[in-house]
A and B are shown apart, each in its own frame.
Chain A
Amino acid sequence: MHNRKETLYEYFFFANAFTVIAVLLGILLLLVFNSYPAFLKISLTEFFTGLQWNPAGFENDSFGIVPLLVSTVVVTVGSMLFAVPLGVLTALYIAEIATPKEREIIKPVVEILAGIPSVVVGFFGIVVLGPIIARIFHLSNGLNAVNGSILLGVMALPTITSLAEDAITAVPDDYRQASLALGASRWETLIRVVLPAALSGIIAAIMLGMGRAIGETMTVLMATGNAPAMPDSILSSVRTMTATIAIELGEVPHNTTHYFVLFAVGLVLFIMTFLINLASDLILERYQEVER
């Protein structure tokens, strides 16, 4: 009697896990089948090397993904430049230096950041951060890649901080004790022993934060100005892949080349985030093996 119940539970959990995988495969197949017709009309070379994105042009349509790809990479890398030092150092502080009381204040505050709706972050970018950036760099307006980067960095902070903190906390206390026993100072222990020991976990945290930044849509759509030109500096207005899909999918008549090519953009985005997540998974796995 008891065994039958056990197997039933097993099936139940298996069904859940299976559903998750089926959903992922389903999304991938949907993207592949809907982007395939685009390449009957436009060449892969044009799609991947074209420097112009203008799918509903006045005379000619052009479907070059490069400006969107570059914009996405610029904004994402920028957000990491902002979020990684801040996030990792905050994590180190919470895990190693803070008193229990400080920890109880800082941790929830960082986590609240994750709960701010992206549209509110974007609004902040338009009315507060944009004008500040414009004043600092003497621009006429602040809707550009830097604005998007900082906002995305803020949004990726909670992910990076809490995962990095987990990794740092997971470093066995023996390491610290051994280091201190050998005469290293607390600072040396922190930088030379704890940080390297937690490094793969921290890298995985960064990768996951990056995965979040790359796929974020609403905030970048609001804060970056959405000019589909090839960005010539971080102060240019840019338009990311996610923003392009969000903007254009609502307008496009179904089953046209423009419609299909948006799915192709989605497929490229999917593959990018998938690879980043896969990489972070592999790193995490290696890290756990070392621990064992």
Chain B
Amino acid sequence: MRRTSFGIVFVLMFAALVFAGCAKGGGGGSNAVLQVRGSDTELSLVQKLSEKFMENNQAKIAVTGGGSGTGIASLINGEIDMANASRPMEDKEISQAQDNNVNPMEFVVAMDGVSVIVNADNPVEQLTMDQIGAIYRGEITNWQEVGGNDQAISLYGRQNNSGTFVFFREHVLQGDYSADMKRMNGNAQIVEGVKADTAGIGYVGIGYVVDENGNQVGGLKVLKVAKDENSPYISPLNREEVLNGNYPVARPLYQYTNGKPEGSLLNFIKFELSETGQNIATKEGFFPVPQNLQQQNNANLGD
């Protein structure tokens, strides 16, 4: 009895190893599942798009998050078919990709207004870009300094694999984040953190503060943001102002493929950029791709 059980354990161990090996090598075939990985901000949007796409097509698409940095690193390492990124690829990353025989091709799937959020109980309504930058750099540490209660500011941000982390650093901070910032794993965690923290401030994609019916999520306040003291304070919930570029922290949401997309990947991107696709993006709280970026998309699609 003892002996046979040893044998069984061994057979099982080898079987597990073999299966693990197979599962890893499964990316290449023509019937393979398309792997899309990256931006947490884009995750639910691209998931919705792929679900709709799969209803009418043979293709299988698996969409996972992990952050823009994760998606881009996976594209560079040749592990996936398409990366979602809420920031553009850096020159350094493009050359790393080319060293690996990967030629990143850029698409813009939607526009996002990065929303600066505070707890609903916070009396602060609006901030300038400079103030937000100083708060996140750790130079302003009390809400009193920007017209709020006498309470230490508690910072919520993302891990550095997040495109939003990088975008915010380049466009708002222009410096390093305070080391005291809590590094959360995703937009949803920031939303939950700020909801529970009366002194909290966070930044998330607009898709995370708007529910399915276009209403603002409860427990939060979306701040109005001004370019500088002399500019108007604008809320990212105001569609027109985001689309005409007056909201200062708007950004394109990117997708990167290796070379010109083909087959079902090409069809999927075309679907995303179609009217149906863009309507889904709008329903998710994001904004449609503006004209000039549409032209870039078409050029990269080869139309």
Interface residues of A (CB under 8 A from B): 52-54, 56-59, 67, 126, 130-131, 140-141, 143, 221-222, 225-230, 236-237, 239, 247-248, 250-254
A227–chain B nearest beta-carbon distance, Å? 5
Task: State whether the Cβ of B282 lies closer than 8 Å to any Cβ in chain A.
Answer: no
Contacts of B73 in A (CB 8 A): 250-254
Complex contact B173–A140 (CB within 8 A): no
Query: Which of the residues B161, B170, B175, B192 comes within 8 Å of A247, measured between beta carbons?
Result: B161
Cα distance A241–B96 when bound, in Å? 27
Task: State whether the Cβ of B182 lies closer than 8 Å to any Cβ in chain A.
Answer: yes
Cα distance A142–B221 when bound, in Å? 21
Task: State whether the Cβ of B285 lies closer than 8 Å to any Cβ in chain A.
Answer: no
CB nearest neighbor in A for B179:
A229
Cα distance A11–B184 when bound, in Å? 51
Q: Mark B164-180, 1 if CB is under 8 A from A, else 0.
A: 00000110011110111
Complex contact B66–A250 (CB within 8 A): yes
Cα distance A163–B185 when bound, in Å? 36
Residue with the greatest number of chain A CB neighbours at <10 A, chosen from B77, B154, B175:
B154
Contacts of B125 in A (CB 8 A): none
Provide 26 A-B residue pairs closer than 8 Å at the C-beta atoms, listed in order of the A residue: A56-B160, A67-B179, A140-B152, A140-B200, A141-B182, A143-B182, A225-B182, A225-B183, A226-B159, A227-B180, A229-B180, A230-B179, A236-B180, A237-B180, A247-B161, A247-B183, A248-B160, A248-B161, A250-B67, A250-B70, A250-B161, A251-B70, A253-B73, A253-B96, A254-B73, A254-B76
A79–chain B nearest beta-carbon distance, Å? 20
A283–chain B nearest beta-carbon distance, Å? 32
Task: State whether the Cβ of B151 lies closer than 8 Å to any Cβ in chain A.
Answer: yes
Query: Which of the residues B77, B154, B159 comes within 8 Å of A141, measured between beta carbons?
Result: B154
Complex contact B179–A251 (CB within 8 A): no
Contacts of B178 in A (CB 8 A): 229
Complex contact B66–A227 (CB within 8 A): no
Query: Which of the residues A52, A58, A126, A131 comes within 8 Å of B179, measured between beta carbons?
Result: A52
Task: State whether the Cβ of B16 lies closer than 8 Å to any Cβ in chain A.
Answer: no
Complex contact B183–A54 (CB within 8 A): no
A141 with B161, Cβ < 8 A, contacts A239-B183, A253-B96 known = no
Task: State whether the Cβ of B196 lies closer than 8 Å to any Cβ in chain A.
Answer: yes
The prevalent SS among residues of A at the interface is loop
Contacts of A229 in B (CB 8 A): 178-180
Contacts of B130 in A (CB 8 A): none
A74–chain B nearest beta-carbon distance, Å? 15
Cα distance A53–B160 when bound, in Å? 12
Task: State whether the Cβ of B204 lies closer than 8 Å to any Cβ in chain A.
Answer: no
Contacts of B154 in A (CB 8 A): 140-141
Contacts of B176 in A (CB 8 A): 54, 57-59
Complex contact A251–B196 (CB within 8 A): no
Task: State whether the Cβ of B181 lies closer than 8 Å to any Cβ in chain A.
Answer: yes
CB nearest neighbor in B for A247:
B159
CB nearest neighbor in A for B71:
A251
Cα distance A58–B73 when bound, in Å? 19
Contacts of A67 in B (CB 8 A): 179
Task: State whether the Cβ of B252 lies closer than 8 Å to any Cβ in chain A.
Answer: no
Complex contact B161–A251 (CB within 8 A): yes
Complex contact B196–A141 (CB within 8 A): yes
Cα distance A21–B258 when bound, in Å? 42
CB nearest neighbor in A for B92:
A253
13 new A-B contacts at CB < 8 Å, known A58-B173, A126-B192? A131-B196, A140-B152, A143-B182, A225-B182, A226-B183, A227-B179, A229-B178, A236-B180, A251-B66, A251-B67, A252-B73, A253-B76, A254-B73
Contacts of A54 in B (CB 8 A): 176, 179
Complex contact A227–B70 (CB within 8 A): no
Contacts of B77 in A (CB 8 A): 253-254
Contacts of B197 in A (CB 8 A): 140-141
Query: Which of the residues A53, A131, A250, A253 comes within 8 Å of B93, measured between beta carbons?
Result: A253
Task: State whether the Cβ of B198 lies closer than 8 Å to any Cβ in chain A.
Answer: yes
Task: State whether the Cβ of B69 lies closer than 8 Å to any Cβ in chain A.
Answer: yes
Query: Which of the residues B159, B173, B175, B182 comes within 8 Å of A237, measured between beta carbons?
Result: B182
Contacts of A253 in B (CB 8 A): 73, 76-77, 93, 96
Cα distance A239–B177 when bound, in Å? 15
Task: State whether the Cβ of B199 lies closer than 8 Å to any Cβ in chain A.
Answer: yes
Cα distance A140–B93 when bound, in Å? 39
Q: Mark B199-219, 1 if CB is under 8 A from A, else 0.
A: 110000000000000000000
A218–chain B nearest beta-carbon distance, Å? 11
Task: State whether the Cβ of B277 lies closer than 8 Å to any Cβ in chain A.
Answer: no
Query: Which of the residues B175, B183, B199 comes within 8 Å of A140, measured between beta carbons?
Result: B199
Task: State whether the Cβ of B248 lies closer than 8 Å to any Cβ in chain A.
Answer: no
Complex contact B161–A143 (CB within 8 A): no
Contacts of B196 in A (CB 8 A): 130-131, 141
Contacts of A248 in B (CB 8 A): 159-161
Contacts of A57 in B (CB 8 A): 176
Q: Mark B129-163, 1 if CB is under 8 A from A, else 0.
A: 00000000000000000000001101000011100
Contacts of A126 in B (CB 8 A): 192
CB nearest neighbor in A for B77:
A254
Cα distance A237–B173 when bound, in Å? 21
Residue with the greatest number of chain B CB neighbours at <10 A, chosen from A59, A221, A225:
A225
